[in-house]
Homo-oligomer: A and B are copies of this chain.
């Protein structure tokens, strides 16, 4: 069974959704549970109904459209992602996965085909977590990893409850959570990184999502006059932090698992040209698909940090900001996706995702897989996010091909 994606129609859908919450520069602002988010969901639901899909909205606002199969007792093949954005979001992040799902259904209707299993398209609530924590909230509630009550109790920086915002904007429905476990879940997404674009690949087969370890270190030394304090008598908190920063960069090469390590924040006190810093605060972001390597890097680094600080007479405080385990997608479905990608004849790369996605949450209960398409310049969470039309169509076609194959699998 095969259906042909209409790239122009997919572009048209992306363009329509991008009008809702449009901001300067070509991007979108549809923060979770905002009026813009609600408007986007209503547009989406109406579009689903136009495609003969049955729409349900659950207790945290996940919008699921169902295109019936030949045997509706079988678990559906689910496609999707999210349509909420960060404050200065682009037009592809999330939206592409949802609208490619609708395009698969539209292509099926064009072809007059009816698969064995239903095809469902899900737009999961609050994937970004830009307003209410945690991110991937809707998919987490969908699989039963978080209760709807707990999710809606989240509060934004203005003190607004997620549940109140969602209720006020009309985002909530009455479908039960957790939702029915699908037969499989497929998500098409822009890469949110530069690899495919820079290396000239057309498609990425995502094998895993990196685990994330965020830590904050605070160093305490002694402020001293930069001119009158001999090097041997210093307890320089800034020096310790900078040594650690240089060390963090060398870390990835020492461990397996395509590790990345970043110092994004470093602040010194009192921050004067001629005063040895008394305090330094820094964040360290470590990511790896290999959980053991991630933990080893974290612990080895901590030991090295404490040795550097001790040699300088500087105190160390460590705070764990976040830790997410890595996630490996089911190898069987990954190989199937890789097979269909290869069949396009285009340049395909296997890769890991450095960002979190709904597919890794659905992957806890069902076979799940992701396809990446290049984002020009690797832009992400940026109004200038752009993916070439041919890549949008290509990615959607692979999702379509895999979905229809999965949808013919018997019980």
Which A residues are closer than 8 A to B by beta carbons?
191-195, 198, 210, 212, 214, 224-231, 233, 236, 238-239, 241-246, 249, 252-253, 258, 260-268, 271-277, 283, 285, 287, 321, 353-355, 378, 380-381
Contact = CB atoms under 8 A, between A and B. Distances in A.
Given A193-B230, A242-B244, A273-B321, 20 more contacts: A194-B228, A198-B233, A225-B381, A227-B353, A229-B260, A231-B249, A231-B261, A238-B245, A239-B246, A239-B263, A243-B245, A262-B275, A264-B268, A264-B274, A264-B275, A264-B277, A265-B268, A266-B266, A267-B267, A273-B283
Given A242-B245, A242-B246, A287 B226 contact: yes
Contact of A210 (B227, B276, B354): B227
B263 A238 contact: yes
Contacts of A380: 225, 228
A399 B208 CA distance: 75
A257 to B, nearest CB: 13
A260 B378 contact: no
A216 to B, nearest CB: 8
A264 B285 contact: no
B265 A273 contact: yes
Given A242-B245, A378-B225, A273 B264 contact: yes
- In order of increasing CB-CB distance, the 8 nearest A-B pairs are A193-B228, A227-B354, A242-B245, A228-B354, A226-B262, A242-B242, A273-B283, A226-B285
B265 A285 contact: no
A272 B263 contact: no
Contacts of A353: 227-228
A192 B229 CA distance: 9
The interface residues of chain A, by DSSP majority, are classed as mixed
User: What is the copy number of this chain in the assembly?
Assistant: 2
Nearest to A216: B273
A194 B287 contact: no
A242 B263 contact: yes
A286 to B, nearest CB: 9
A268 B283 CA distance: 12
A314 to B, nearest CB: 13
Contact of A355 (B225, B262, B266, B378): B225
A378 B194 contact: no
A109 to B, nearest CB: 35
Contacts of A263: 238-239, 242, 268, 277
Interface centre among A195, A241, A266, A283 (most CB of B within 10 A): A266
B246 A262 contact: no
28 contacts: A193-B227, A194-B228, A194-B233, A195-B228, A195-B230, A195-B233, A214-B273, A214-B274, A224-B378, A225-B355, A226-B285, A226-B287, A227-B355, A228-B354, A229-B354, A230-B260, A231-B261, A236-B249, A236-B262, A238-B245, A238-B263, A239-B249, A241-B242, A242-B242, A243-B246, A245-B245, A264-B274, A265-B271
> Among A195, A246, A261, A271, which residue has the most Cβ atoms of chain B within 10 A?
A246
A8 B260 CA distance: 65
